[in-house]
Structures are given as C-alpha cells and as structure tokens.
Amino acid sequence: MTAPRLQIDLDALAQNFHTLRRRVAGDLPTQRAAAVVKANAYGLGMAPIAQRLWQEGCRRFFVALADEGAQLRSMLPHAQIYVLAGVTGQTLEAIKAHGLIPVLNSLEQCRLWSQGNAGSTSALHIDTGMHRLGLSPDEAMSALPALQVELVMTHFARADEWGQAMRMQQLERFAACVPALLQRFPEALFSANNSAGALTDSVLPTWVAGLDEHRLVDRLGIGLFGANPHSLKDCAAAAVQLATVATLEAEVLQIRSVAAGASVGYGSTYTVAQACRLATIGVGYADGVSRLLSNQGQVYFRGQRFAMVGRVSMDSLVVELPADSAVGGGFTVGDWVEVFGSNIGVDEVATQMQTIAYEVFTGLGSRVRRLS
C-alpha cells in the first residue's frame, strides 16, 4: 500500500494570493496582504507554501505559536513573523532570539514585553466582541506600558456570515480606538480582515476617516488554500473564483466482484442491491477521511463519481463500481482516485463531514505525503 498523497498546486496558491489582495487593495503593493500559515499552513505544509508566498511578494506572516515562528524563521530569514498567542515567560527568550513579533493579548503580556523590550517591535490585539484573545478597548487606550507597536489588529467572530450585523459592530468598536492609538503609535498599521473580510469589503478604508489604505493589512488564511471562507454559499463574495490548491488522492488496492446481497465493511452497514464490483481505496480516518463520510462520500476518477459504501476504516474505504468493467471509469489496481480537489471540492466534503474546510485540511494525517 502506498500512502495517500496531497498534491499542492503552488501556482494556484499564488493565484489566490493575488486574487484576494487585489480584491481590496487593487494595485497597491503586496505588503498589504499577510499570510496566515499556522498549524503547518493549515495542514498543507508550511515550507513550500511560505516560500512561494514570499516569492510572490508576501512579507508578513502569522503563526499561532512561538515554535511555529522559529520554524518559519529558518525558512524566511527576512520575513515579519507575528505570533498570535503573544508572549509568555516560557516563550519570551525564543521570541527575542528568532526576531518574532508577539501579538500582545493582555495587559500582563504587554507588561512582560515592555520589561527590557520596550524598544522591540510588537503588535496589539484588541478584542471587539469575540471574547477569545485580546485587550479590551479601554485597556488598549488607557493603561498600556511603554511599547513599540507596529500593528494593531482585531478578529471578527462572524466574518464568514454574509451581511451579519456583528461584523459592523466590531468594526465600529475598532474604529473608535484608532484615533487614540494613532496618536500614541503614529506609524502603526491596522488589521481587521481575514479571507472572508477581504472578499466582502472592497472599500474598507472608509471605516475610519483619515486612515490611509496603505496602513491596512489583511490576514489571508483559508482563502489562500482555495476554500470558500463564507458559510453562506450564495453570497456575492462566493462568486469570486479561488483556485484549487490541495488535492487528496489515494490508490486503488483491490477490486472484487460480489453478488447481490453482499454486505460491506465493519458493522455491515451497506448491502449491495445487485451484482457489482467493489474497489478498496487506501485512505481512511487515520489520514483525515472521517467516518462521517461512510455511505455518503464519493471519490472521483476519469470524469465520474463513485459512492463510498460501508464504513470508512482506519486505513481504507470502499467504493461501489458497476459489474461491467467496461463501464465506470475502468478502475484497475494501482490507479489513483481523488477524494477532494478540483472535481469534489473540499467545501462539499467538509459539509458531508459536518465540519468546515479548516478542519478537513488540518485533520490530514501525518502519513499523507505532501507533494508540491
């Protein structure tokens, strides 16, 4: 059995980067667009993705943890790398040693970074309503120690929901902080948009008077990798065509003919209605293909879809083929089939798995070979 493979199309990644940045920035420099490459670039492989984005002009990158930042620094020695978790006593020295920029989320983190690091660059996260990480607006405007802040950000709780009022409420709270923060940090940049926001707002500079659009930074994540960042599929932003970056493929291990009435897989949850062939495919839930796809997922091969039947196992799944080998794509042992990609979109698979594309990507197992 050959391990499943994840084909990464770096040209498609580059296309999505420029599509998203032009959506809001037009012909403004690429510095306005930052890439979120936390969790091994959403499970797709940090090294090739970060390096290609650097080649395309991306200079700002966000990771979740200091360890991820150190890993990225070894690949991109001159990038600006922001650590979303901020700084703690345990990560302080690593952040300093690797020249990372902590996103300060609390007064405690601000004080820790200020002690002996007041001249070192930091970012500031203001919580405008998500209640996860970040300082309150009052804390951000009145109680900060001495800091050198390069970027001020907030994070939308519901940017993926087209037209949701909470996003504008958060934006208004953020905008109310900007004048005072500009007075204290006159060179600071400001960031509110993720991929969903970037696809939705084409005139974002109007959210605060006098804030030059060159000072806005969009944090691009899931959209870079070709997934629709909006939960409402019929919204106007969904009409923007994002290229498929990741294609999960697996090998055909065995093909057998069975008679009508044969049951398939653990628990015998599927019984074939008529004589057919069954193809066993070498990918399973250990690779990130959820058991929720049992008896409802599909694979794609040579212009056709074939239904997954029976339960998805740890290392394999089964699809049903017509009894006539001349019909149904001509499956043979050793062929590779698509689990998701340009023909079966990751968003469709995520819906069947009762989750989102983020989890599908990040849930891909370690034995899946990432190829680019």
- Residue matched to tokens 């920035």: 25
- Residue matched to tokens 């983190």: 109
Instruction: Give the pairing type, strands 101-104 and 80-83.
Output: parallel
CA–CA distance, 372 with 282 (Å, rounded to integer):
21
**Helix pair 10-25, 46-55: axis angle to 10 deg:** 50
CA–CA distance, 147 with 125 (Å, rounded to integer):
13
- Residue matched to tokens 């006539």: 324
The residue type found at 89 is G
Instruction: Give the pairing type, strands 270-271 and 276-281.
Output: unpaired
CA–CA distance, 344 with 353 (Å, rounded to integer):
13
Residue from 82, 96, 266, 358 carrying the catalytic annotation: 266
Residue from 38, 42, 285, 358 carrying the catalytic annotation: 38
Residue 233 among the catalytic residues: no
Residue 42 among the catalytic residues: no
- Give the torsion sign (CA, 276, 281, 284, 288): negative
Contact 321, 331 (CB under 8 A): yes
The residue type found at 7 is Q
β strands within 331-368, DSSP E:
336-340
CA–CA distance, 341 with 288 (Å, rounded to integer):
14
Contact 296, 306 (CB under 8 A): no
List the catalytic residues: 38, 266
